[in-house]
């Protein structure tokens, strides 16, 4: 397994994200006696003036597990006098499954004392033997104790949000599967519903009712006669004079026709006189 930037990858390429949530440089560790009553732990029973060790607190999250690592210094073997090394003094691993009902309680691992806001009983576990025990953890500054408590609450809240998101993801995938299998049926039903919602029209004829259709064609059209005023006022040509009377009979016949036309035109002209 390799470690790079808080991301650990094991042999099966499973990615483990590690988040560093809190670091407090000074805490006090106490050996605590069994609880005297069911009310809870009391810090006044821990002999607060004589802590077991002064350590550093690191809180990290690895996947869904919250790790409380208590680190201490000790003399470094084979090094010059006064040289120290940092080592894991105690560790508490908190794993809560919020999907179960009721979910596990945080107080199983971290239990605030009943007589102070700066001290907690923390359940630790020996990784080699598997044995569990409570130790006392105290903070010099009250603000450090508040930050520690808020870090624990944020861990629980983040688990709940992630579980809610996972539930929504599963529901979405299930809805996609259901939609794929029922798409055809849904489309047909939607068409039927739309058709049934349309208004119905009745174009049939009642008994005894007749339908008349007028079809206009060019053969039935009559060209209107327009009698223009200019056409009516047009004066006909003048009649031939006497010098042309001795022309041939053909000319006489033509003249006769012209005189007839002239007379007809004079009659038409007389309609407009006066």
Residue 23 lies inside a defined structural domain of this protein: yes
The two tokens of residue 127 are 């990784």
Residue 178, domain member (yes or no): no
The least confident of 12-16, 138-142, 184-188, 241-245 is 241-245
Question: Residue 215: pLDDT band by 50, 70, 90 thresholds?
Answer: low
**18, β-bridge pairs:** 62
In a domain, 192, yes or no: no
Is 35 inside any structural domain?
Answer: yes
- pLDDT single digits (tens) 26-68: 999 999 998 888 889 999 999 999 999 999 999 999 999 999 9
> How far separated are the first and last CA of the chain, in Å rounded?
130
Residue 128: the pLDDT is 86
Note the pLDDT of residue 204: 62
Per-residue pLDDT reduced to its tens digit, 245-272: 444 444 455 444 444 444 444 444 444 4
Is residue 175 assigned to a domain?
no
Expressed as residue numbers, the domain containing 10 is: 2-170
174 backbone φψ class: left, alpha, beta (φ>0; ψ -120 to 50): alpha
**How are the residues of the chain apportioned to helix, strand and coil, as percentages rounded to the nearest 5?**
35, 25, 40
* CATH number assigned to the domain comprising residue 52: 2.30.29.30
What is this structure's pTM? 0.59
What is the full DSSP assignment across 29-91?
Answer: EEE-PPPSSTT---GGGS-TTS-SEEEEEEEEEETTEEEEEEEEEEEPTTS-TT-EEEEEEEE
274: in domain: no
Q: Is the model more confident about 167 or about 253? A: 167
Task: Give the tokens for residue 206.
Answer: 């009642």
CA distances from 213 to 191, 210, 216 (A): 37, 10, 10
């Amino acid at each position: 397994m390799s470690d790079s930037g808080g991301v650990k990858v094991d042999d099966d390429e499973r990615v483990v994200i590690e988040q560093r949530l809190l670091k407090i440089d000074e805490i006090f560790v106490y050996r605590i006696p069994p609880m005297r009553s069911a009310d809870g732990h009391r810090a006044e029973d821990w002999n607060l003036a004589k802590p077991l060790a002064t350590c550093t607190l690191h809180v990290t999250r690895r996947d869904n597990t919250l790790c409380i690592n208590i680190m201490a210094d000790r003399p470094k073997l084979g090094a010059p006098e006064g040289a120290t090394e940092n080592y894991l003094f105690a560790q508490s691993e908190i794993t809560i499954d919020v999907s179960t009902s009721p979910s596990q309680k945080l107080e199983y691992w971290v239990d605030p004392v009943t007589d102070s806001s700066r001290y907690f009983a923390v359940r630790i576990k020996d990784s080699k033997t598997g044995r569990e025990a409570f130790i006392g953890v105290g903070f010099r500054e009250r603000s450090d104790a508040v930050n520690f408590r808020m870090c624990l609450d944020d861990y629980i809240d983040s688990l709940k949000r992630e579980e809610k998101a996972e539930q929504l993801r599963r529901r979405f995938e299930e809805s996609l599967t259901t939609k794929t299998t029922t798409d055809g049926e849904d489309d047909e039903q939607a068409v039927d519903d739309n058709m049934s919602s349309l208004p119905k029209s009745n174009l049939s004829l009642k008994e005894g009712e007749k339908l008349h259709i007028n079809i206009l064609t060019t053969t039935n059209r009559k060209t209107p006669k327009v009698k223009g005023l200019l056409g009516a006022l047009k004066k006909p040509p003048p009649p031939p004079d006497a010098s042309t009377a001795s022309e041939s009979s053909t000319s006489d016949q033509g003249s006769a026709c012209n005189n007839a036309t002239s007379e007809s035109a004079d009659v038409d002209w007389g309609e407009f006189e006066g």
